[in-house]
Chain A
């Protein structure tokens, strides 16, 4: 997630502007990653980062655009972000706004029926400014995503709906940047990037461990996480 968001923001999104490319985090529960990128870009301060999930904080546990306008849609109810992005893409097309709309979905979110309504609609309207990235980490809240409900071949499914579609390693920055460049230059319709990722990437005891889907850490676990993430190549 953090690799994908970093690549998108630093290549095409200027959060200080109103008219700009938009990023909809449809898998809103991953919003701490978005806050981290906004922090790195100077939008959020160190002090404000420490207010995460506190009452009255702008940094809610899911994106809340009326509190923090730099997150572009209020999400949390899975399945809605792609449709919202589609509406934004139509508006941008019709007003001559040349910017893109990025929607980041989870692979578990692909269970939602509304995703496929929007997939059909986006292809029908042939919107080239709409880019969907599926964070395919293979885990959802209660276990292995495909054990909960098998998504089968997501690239083929999007392609069948009429999207240009490709699959990448979601932690390989070169692959991410190349795929985003192809998506931005594709002018025949919407584009989806299926990004294979590892939940908890870089933290030894978290990787592919569903127990850390939403739990916090403290004490020794916190220290170990920082040590792991400080290693070269992380």
Chain B
């Protein structure tokens, strides 16, 4: 199957805009340029919350927003532990849990290097993601 490679981060950032409703907030920890949440920030600055380098508090801020009826997504990068692990745990306990595909950095400290090489090493390139989705 043919597919087009795109910048995954740009895609995520721009896709956030497609799903915008007044209930949606995006929180970032001084990484809007890297995560490309800056695309959302540019279009919806009032619903973009820059938490600074304080992501622990940011996650709890998200909790408060949710408890007032807002919708928040939180992401991080590692497959094991952290937020991804928590989501997986919740889904596994659900009687008819939806398919879960865990694409991300495995439980290790990553090495530095050119972005393309790092993505290849850790299975985060567009090709890897496409393959994972197509073969799931």
**Contact segment of A48-56, A87-95, A199-207:** A87-95
Q: Which residues of A contact B63 (CB under 8 A)?
A: 73, 80, 83-84, 87
**Do A117 and B57 form a contact, CB below 8 Å, given A90-B49, A124-B52?**
yes
CA distance A73 to B66 in the complex (A): 11
B contacts with A, residue count (CB < 8 A): 22
Render A59-92 as a binary contact track against B, CB cut-off 8 A, 1 for contact: 0000001000000110000001111111111111
> Are the CB atoms of B57 and A118 closer together than 8 Å?
yes
> Are the CB atoms of A88 and B67 closer together than 8 Å?
yes
> Are the CB atoms of B61 and A86 closer together than 8 Å?
yes
CA distance A81 to B61 in the complex (A): 9
Chain B nearest CB, measured from A104 CB (Å):
15
Render B38-70 as a binary contact track against A, CB cut-off 8 A, 1 for contact: 000000001101011010111111111111111
The secondary structure that dominates the A interface is helix
**Do A87 and B65 form a contact, CB below 8 Å, given A80-B60, A94-B46?**
yes
Interface membership of A167, Cβ < 8 A? no
Q: Which residues of A contact B59 (CB under 8 A)?
A: 83
Render B61-82 as a binary contact track against A, CB cut-off 8 A, 1 for contact: 1111111111000000000000
Binding site for A on B (CB under 8 A): 25, 46-47, 49, 51-52, 54, 56-70
**Interface pairs (22), CB distance under 8 Å:** A73-B67, A80-B60, A81-B60, A83-B58, A83-B60, A83-B63, A86-B60, A86-B64, A87-B65, A87-B68, A88-B64, A88-B67, A91-B70, A95-B68, A97-B68, A117-B51, A118-B57, A120-B52, A120-B54, A121-B54, A121-B57, A124-B52
